Amino acid sequence: MDFTQTAENYSEDNQQKIRISNGINLKDLRDEGIVFDPEIPDRERWRREEEKEYFTQHTAELQRVLAERREVQHGEDGDGIDEEGGSSEFDELRKNMRAVTEDGGVQKKVIREGFQTGGVVPEGATVTLHYSQSLEGQDEPFDSSVLRGKQERYKLGEGQLIEGLEVGIKTMAKNEKAQFMINHNYGYGRFGCPPRIPEQATILATVEVVDFVEEGQAEAFLAMDIRERNKKHVYPEIEKVARIEHVNGNTYVSKEEWRQAVKHYERGVKLLEETSLRDEEEEKRRQHLMLKLQLNVAYCAIKLKWPKKACIACREALNIEENNTKALFRFGKAQRMLEDFKKARHYLVRAQRNKPGDVHINEELLSLDDQMAREVDTERMLCQGMFGNHKKLEEKRGEVESNFYENFLAELKGFQGDPGKELALPNQWSRVEMRALVAAAESLNMKVVEEEKRVRVVKECGV
């Protein structure tokens, strides 16, 4: 079974287990590789079991869909439909619908009002939907994301949905639910899609807009030549589109879809970088928004374990605001992921200096210091294994202590120029580190005060 195309969504819980009939010979694995013979159970029985398991867990959802279908068949007032020459079920529904298109090829009935503050779905938006499509006289929908048990996402304008659905969706607001009667000219055409869709079929679609993200404007702007864009559009117009990208990125962050979020933040950055400015006020506005976007890129990059991208974004953020606490903190985390512990500690200490009581910064520093201590212990054990000679071991230990001393001295020199009187650090030091810290502090006329949960470096009077 090939999971390479669905690696992001793969987990052991949502994939069928396959039993391997033959064992592993390590010699074959090393020389020529191994071909496994899977024992695959009866696929039809397997499918039936999966369907049974899904519907037992989603009975309420299934009952709701079937209830909606019964409402379509019997009308809202509960009266049946005359089967001998009377109105059809779709004809009854049309009585409570309004035309969306001029020719009446798409008609709409609102089941639940949506949020009006965000407006309707725009051109080129990416929409998250729940929907069902039915044919007249059928007991069940022929296509339903609800029955599949998963919301689905589509980008409008790319032919992923039939025309009538796109037309209808663009009349809807977020959280709105509606029914659409779609003529074959806006559906599957004159010839249909045999065997499921007959020719000239009218479709009844029930649609719920769970969410949407506006994308068209940014793409259109970025497709233009930079000089042409700056000639046609002033900064406030471009800033408005960049802010939409910021909001869209935040929407994806709330869903923990980090890759999509990064894409929107970076598009906003690119728009702002390539914009002509008229005055200092516009420059301030651009820098303020650019800082937010770069910080968010760094946040998502860390979540995605892309430390180099995070470092680049943090560096850009610090170029805008050189002592920004979030940028320093995320820079430290990214450098730690790159295993540059010295730089990681440098940025984390600077962040802690800005916000001494911040729990996240203190925990990250504490964790980093533990990791650095373990690295020293590992190095010491390697030295003991490599050098039986006590004199060489002492030389190595002195070298380690000297490195700590140099690191602490550099940090304390930075603290020396600050107006603050003391620097609080977590009390998680080894004996070697404490000796190095005390020595570095004394060389700068500072005092080290060791307490139960922290260590304070205090400037002496006159420093």
* Helix/strand/coil for 434: helix
Q: State the pLDDT at residue 27.
A: 53
Mean pLDDT of 430-436: 76
* 456 pLDDT tier (thresholds 50, 70, 90): confident
Residue 79 in this model has a pLDDT that exceeds 50: no
Mean pLDDT of 403-419: 78
* Helix/strand/coil for 148: helix
Residue spans of alpha helices (H) in 22-113: 26-31, 43-57, 59-74, 89-94
Q: State the pLDDT at residue 71.
A: 57
Residue 84 in this model has a pLDDT that exceeds 50: no
Six-digit token string for 425: 């650090």
Where does CATH 3.10.50.40 sit in the chain? 88-213
Among 76-85, 108-117, 350-359, 435-444, which is the least confidently predicted range? 76-85
* 25 pLDDT tier (thresholds 50, 70, 90): low
Residue 139 in this model has a pLDDT that exceeds 60: yes
Q: State the pLDDT at residue 1.
A: 43
Domain covering 223-338, topology? 1.25.40
Q: Calculate the alpha carbon distances from 328 to 298, 313, 324, 352, 361 in Å.
A: 11, 11, 6, 9, 10
Asked if residue 164 lies in contact with residue 180, where contact means CB atoms within 8 angstroms, the answer is yes
Q: Say what the pTM is.
A: 0.50
Per-residue pLDDT tens over the stretch 257-271: 899 899 899 989 999
Q: State the pLDDT at residue 290.
A: 94
Mean pLDDT of 99-122: 87
Distance, CA of 392 to CA of 387 (rounded, Å): 7
Burial grade of 328 (CB within 10 A; 0-12, 13-18, 19 or more) = buried
195 upstream amide cis, omega within 30 of 0: yes
**With helix as H, strand as E and coil as C, how does the chain read?**
CCCHHHHHHCCHHHCCCCEECCCCCHHHHHHCCCCCCEECCCHHHHHHHHHHHHHHHCHHHHHHHHHHHHHHHHCCCCCCCCCCCCCCHHHHHHCCCEECCCCCCEEEEEEECCEEEEEECCCCCEEEEEEEEEECCCCCCCEEHHHHCCCEEEECCCCCCCHHHHHHHCCCEECCEEEEEECHHHCCCCCCECCCECCCCCEEEEEEEEEEECCHHHHHHHHCCHHHHHHHCCHHHHHHHHHHHHHHHHHHHHCCCHHHHHHHHHHHHHHHHCCCCCCHHHHHHHHHHHHHHHHHHHHHHHHCCCHHHHHHHHHHHHHHCCCCHHHHHHHHHHHHHCCCHHHHHHHHHHHHHHCCCCHHHHHHHHHHHHHHHHHHHHHHHHHHHHCCCHHHHHHHHHHHHHHHHHHHHHHHHHHHCCCCCEEEEECCCCHHHHHHHHHHHHHCCEEEEECCCEEEEEECCCC
CATH number of 88-213: 3.10.50.40
Mean pLDDT of 100-117: 88
Q: How many helices (H) and strands (E) does the chain have?
A: 17, 14
User: Which of the given ranges, 72-76, 84-88, 436-440, has the highest pLDDT on average?
Assistant: 436-440
Q: Which residue would you say has higher pLDDT here, 100 or 421?
A: 100
Per-residue pLDDT tens over the stretch 208-261: 998 887 766 777 777 788 888 888 888 898 898 899 889 889 988 988 889 989
Six-digit token string for 53: 């398991």
Residue 288 in this model has a pLDDT that exceeds 90: yes
Where does CATH 1.25.40.10 sit in the chain? 223-338
Among 106, 148, 157, CA closest to 130: 148
Distance, CA of 46 to CA of 38 (rounded, Å): 15
* 308 pLDDT tier (thresholds 50, 70, 90): very high
Distance, CA of 244 to CA of 289 (rounded, Å): 11
Residue 169 in this model has a pLDDT that exceeds 80: yes
Residue 82 in this model has a pLDDT that exceeds 60: no
Distance, CA of 73 to CA of 82 (rounded, Å): 11
Q: State the pLDDT at residue 461.
A: 58
Burial grade of 210 (CB within 10 A; 0-12, 13-18, 19 or more) = middle
Q: Which residue would you say has higher pLDDT here, 224 or 285?
A: 285
C-alpha 201, offset from chain centre: 40
CA dihedral 264, 269, 270, 273 (to 10 degrees): 170
* Helix/strand/coil for 244: helix
Q: Which residue has the tokens 């089941």?
A: 111
Per-residue pLDDT tens over the stretch 318-362: 999 999 999 999 999 999 999 898 899 999 999 999 998 888 998
